[in-house]
Structure 1
Amino acid sequence: MKQCLLLITCFISMYAVAQTPDEALRMAWFTQNGSARNIATGGVMGSLGGEITANHVNPAGIGLFKTNEFAISGGFLMNNNKFRYRGSDTTSQRNNFNYGASGIILSSGDNRGNSKWTSSAFAISVNQLANYNNHVQFKGFNNFSSFSEQYLEELVRDRADTNAALSNYIFGSSLAFRTYLIDTTAGPGGVVTGFQSLVPISTGVNQSYDAVTRGGYHEIALGLAGNMADKMYVGGSLTIPVISYQRDIIYRETDASTNTNNDFSFFEYKETFTSKGIGIGAKLGFIYKPQDYWRFGVAIHTPQFIGFKDEIRSSLSANTEGYYAGGTLTETSDNLNSGNPGRREYNLLTPWRAIASASYVFREVNDTRRQRAFISADLEYVNYRGARFSASDGSDPSLRDYYHMINDAIKDTYKGNINLRVGGELKLHTIMFRLGGAFYGSPYADKEIKANRILATGGIGYRDHGIFIDLSYAHSFNKDAQFAYRLNDKPNTYAQQGGSAGSVMMTFGVKF
């Protein structure tokens, strides 16, 4: 994997924006979102059906509808992050609006006796699969590595001369070179022999990383399902993913010593990155009721093909004390790129998913008003290492080689893993009580990276005279890893992420 990342690092000099394995994971590792009822029961929807969220999980579930329905879901997300970086603890919070599965379902009604299909239903809905609004912030003392070393790797391995260092790496190394954070080394006769970082790594630096992210992974789904004799339900949905993502980074290193004559005081790197994408995919599934009370479901989510357009702007300020006596120097990518951001267009194929599910419904009858309770469980497999980047311009052989290297790195960085969701509902006439839980396993191949997400969920609901209101709360306990930078010549250091996130969701709906 290191060899792949090394070649990717060298290739960045030729293009404005580089993709990384982290970008692929952002489109794959997230907890299930939906209506308030679905969230309250832990996200189980593989075999239950009869709910708008089914259009985004197992479209066969909309085949249970024999009336029309409109539902809208909105809520609030509260992130409470904890980070531990090289022995130092940091916390951050970010709250924002959230929404869940919303849309309309149109049913043909009960056609019993007219054909083998008892009924059918069509649904159009939108759901936010992932909410990217967050604040990642950590800091610590480091005498092992520096952010600036990635610039050295870029210049040395590309065999750059001083002219290339000045102008060819306008979103990274050229900024560092022009501010004297990185400078040349000279041999006999003043001949340039290489490059050096002015950061005094041996005595240590205080590092801080602060990133604010915004946006979301939205999905529009058009689903169609049929019901055969209230025993077998089959369905499929055409999905249209719409992605918006923005990240603003401020990274800083300051001299941890009291030496004012070691040619380094501080440097600060700033970056604004935006990414927008739209694509297409499909979800297929069936639900089978072998007898009253039991339901079994299977669903397949095909990879979604998404075209992206990214932009990046960056700047770097450095103070090297006596090395450059003029004080702090600042350089920006805008100055080196005629005021324009760096742009890149590319494609991403997201990982496929498979869901197997079983439900037990107490007093399973066609009239849902007489059903008293259910318990359900979903087992989901996600092939995280199956994400694949590709060039929008397939005629460029260097781009094809570049994305081949990224895809090899993805295969080495991630693995497939299983997610488990369990939940249930107790119905007392018009009032319902719900509980659930879920476990999302680590997508990382490296066992040293401890990552998972555990959810505890609950909620209540009201249904009467064709109107329903549901309220849910989900509490997620999170473990993940955050990298401020990646190096090829040294083991990478990262922040261990903990903390939790709370999500409140309300769904209002009408049957007609």
Structure 2
Amino acid sequence: MKKYVIIIAFFTSLVSYAQTPDDALKLSWHTSNGTARNIAIGGVMGSLGGDITAANSNPAGLGLYKTNEFVFSPGAFIFNNKYNYRGTDTSNIKGNFSYGPIGFVFGTPSKYTSSAWTSTAFSISVNQMASYNNHTQYRGFNNYSSFSEQYLEELVRDQADTTAAAGNYIFGSSLAYRTYLIDTIRGANGSVAGYQSLVPISTGINQYYDAATKGGYHEIALGLAGNIEDKLYVGGSLIIPVVSYRRDFVYKETDATNNPYNQFASFTYSEQFQSNGVGIGAKIGIIYKPQNSWRLGFAFHTPQSISFTDRIRSQMTTNTESYAGTITETSDNLNNGNAGERKYRVITPYKMIGSLSYVFKENADVRKQRGFISADVEFVNYRGARFSVQNADDYSRTSYLNQVNDGVKNYYKGNFNFKVGGELKFNVFALRLGGAYFGSPYADDKLQVSKTLLTGGIGYRNKGMFIDLGYAHTFLNDVNFPYRLNDVANTYAVQTGSTNNIVVTLGFKW
């Protein structure tokens, strides 16, 4: 039997605590969502205003409202997934319902004609910022590393004895130990000299990854903005993020040689993971018109503090042939039939937005305007995400999450996103085009990661009613890590493919 002993390590992706640096990206690295108009112009809303999406981008844009408005924005999100994992290509398509902003804006002109404060606007809306409804699948041959090694790393890192190995890591390493995927190495005197994986990495294994995810990242926004002499607009939004996430995960490794005498045939790890969070944050901004047709905008999104409750169940089945046969163990069996539960807090990265717009034939009566062109530059400090415990007395989890925070700082960086878009008006109809580029959040420049958007749409506005259609096609360059190890280079799947976002917005003004 071959012995694969691993030195003390840091990262474990599916063990007793589960949070990893990768989790921070779910809340920060996503493209812009909004009304169909906002989608069609590439998400540029930093200096335009006059759209309910401003509450989630630059709330000062609400200050352009002097009347009331209701909007409803149903849509559809389609993932065209393409993965290459260690030379093997896989693909699938996943479609689901989505939505943009739904809510009200109430604009009120000042009662005093002599006042510099021209008007005030208030909004209440809910917007889906990201959809997690997807199905990620890939497979490939690997003679370099194994998913099982992360369990070795954890046991060695903690200097776990056999009692701890059997019972302290009931959602990961203990399942591997109890099914003999991980076993002890005995010293000359019979004592435990270390741990080993029975996976024959050197002769190669076939790896299978399958994760079906559901849920979304939503924002309830309460916005307030003011208009000073139709020249300076100031505003802010109180943001209540609401996050739901579910993952049904299956990972499998099988012996590529089909050798019935090497004491390993396969193992399968499955997991049901559910996470729900709610928090608070704020967004503030200004828009200034140095000249009638020009608009300058700046917005700052504070870090959001989101409290999460996670629930997890896991199971492992290992076939070690003549070594121990086929054994199945579950976390329920080790946890009195209950799901594991964790409570923690995430601080999301801050964001800054700078914007410039030019409006053709600027007029206080927007029906007489002939269009615009606008550009936004965003900076997002991805490495600023932080995890913390909700119970200050939980010292073991505090230590673990401090290590995860160190990982966030090492793995990620701050980076820029660029957006440009425009609109041409033809009486009651409008034609819109745009594009955007979202830069990589990873500090490792070898990871060629980005999102590039091409967008477009049309709109109709007449007699207090409007209907818009927006479409965004996103070209993906991303990576997916099936597991993370510390002592060897991490293997990952390269994601290309695309996403398609279609949104229809129906609105009424009065």
> Which TM-score bucket, shorter chain as reference?
over 0.9
Q: Which residue of 2 aligns with 1:100?
A: 100
Q: Which residue of 2 aligns with 1:290?
A: 290
SS at structure 2 position matched to 1:83: strand
Within the candidate set 392, 403, 406, 2:404 is matched to 406
The alpha carbon displacement at 1:6 in A equals 3.3
Q: Which residue of 2 aligns with 1:451?
A: 449
SS at structure 2 position matched to 1:190: coil
- In structure 1, stretches of 5+ residues that fail to align are none
Do 1:112 and 1:119's aligned partners in 2 also have CA atoms closer than 8 Å?
no
Q: Which residue of 2 aligns with 1:357?
A: 355
Q: CA RMSD in A?
A: 1.4
TM-score (norm 2): 0.96
Label 1:42 to 1:112 Cα distance change in 2 as closer, same or farther (>3 A).
farther
- In structure 2, stretches of 5+ residues that fail to align are 1-7
Give the Cα–Cα distance (whole angstroms) in 2 for the partners of residues 396 and 76 of structure 1: 42
Q: Which residue of 1 aligns with 2:41?
A: 41
Do 2:41 and 2:435's aligned partners in 1 also have CA atoms closer than 8 Å?
yes
What amino acid sits opposite 1:269 in the alignment?
Y
Q: Which residue of 2 aligns with 1:194?
A: 194
Within the candidate set 485, 501, 512, 2:499 is matched to 501
CA distances 1:456-490 after superposition (whole Å, capped 9, x unpaired): 00000000000000001110001111011111121
CA distances 1:116-148 after superposition (whole Å, capped 9, x unpaired): 201111000111111111111110000011111
1:463 and 2:468 equivalent? no
Q: Which residue of 2 aligns with 1:309?
A: 309
CA distances 1:210-260 after superposition (whole Å, capped 9, x unpaired): 001110000000011111111011111100000000111100001100311
CA distances 1:374-395 after superposition (whole Å, capped 9, x unpaired): 0000000000001111110123
Q: Percent identity of the aligned residues?
A: 61
Counterpart mapping for 1:420-435 below 5 A = 420-435=418-433
Give the Cα–Cα distance (whole angstroms) in 2 for the partners of residues 422 and 505 of structure 1: 19
Give the Cα–Cα distance (whole angstroms) in 2 for the partners of residues 189 and 61 of structure 1: 75
What amino acid sits opposite 2:232 in the alignment?
M
SS at structure 1 position matched to 2:73: strand
Q: Which residue of 2 aligns with 1:259?
A: 259
Q: Which residue of 2 aligns with 1:382?
A: 380
Aligned residues: 503
The alpha carbon displacement at 1:340 in A equals 0.9
Q: Which residue of 2 aligns with 1:232?
A: 232
Give the Cα–Cα distance (whole angstroms) in 1 for the partners of residues 258 and 328 of structure 2: 24
Do 1:143 and 1:204's aligned partners in 2 also have CA atoms closer than 8 Å?
yes
Counterpart mapping for 1:160-171 below 5 A = 160-171=160-171
The alpha carbon displacement at 1:371 in A equals 0.3
Q: Which residue of 2 aligns with 1:218?
A: 218
Q: Which residue of 1 aligns with 2:113?
A: 113
SS at structure 2 position matched to 1:505: strand
Moved more, 391-400 or 313-322: 391-400
CA distances 1:256-301 after superposition (whole Å, capped 9, x unpaired): 0031111111110001111110000000001111111111110000
Do 2:94 and 2:135's aligned partners in 1 also have CA atoms closer than 8 Å?
yes
Give the Cα–Cα distance (whole angstroms) in 2 for the partners of residues 329 and 171 of structure 1: 16
Moved more, 492-501 or 164-173: 164-173
Do 1:82 and 1:92's aligned partners in 2 also have CA atoms closer than 8 Å?
yes
CA distances 1:173-195 after superposition (whole Å, capped 9, x unpaired): 11111111111122324333221
Q: Which residue of 1 aligns with 2:145?
A: 145
TM-score (norm 1): 0.96
Moved more, 108-117 or 262-271: 108-117
Give the Cα–Cα distance (whole angstroms) in 2 for the partners of residues 268 and 400 of structure 1: 30
Label 1:329 to 1:396 Cα distance change in 2 as closer, same or farther (>3 A).
closer
Do 1:63 and 1:225's aligned partners in 2 also have CA atoms closer than 8 Å?
yes
1:475 and 2:510 equivalent? no
The alpha carbon displacement at 1:341 in A equals 1.1
What amino acid sits opposite 1:336 in the alignment?
L
What amino acid sits opposite 1:38 in the alignment?
N
SS at structure 2 position matched to 1:37: helix
Give the Cα–Cα distance (whole angstroms) in 1 for the partners of residues 9 and 346 of structure 2: 21
Give the Cα–Cα distance (whole angstroms) in 2 for the partners of residues 84 and 163 of structure 1: 40
Give the Cα–Cα distance (whole angstroms) in 2 for the partners of residues 296 and 217 of structure 1: 29
SS at structure 2 position matched to 1:314: strand
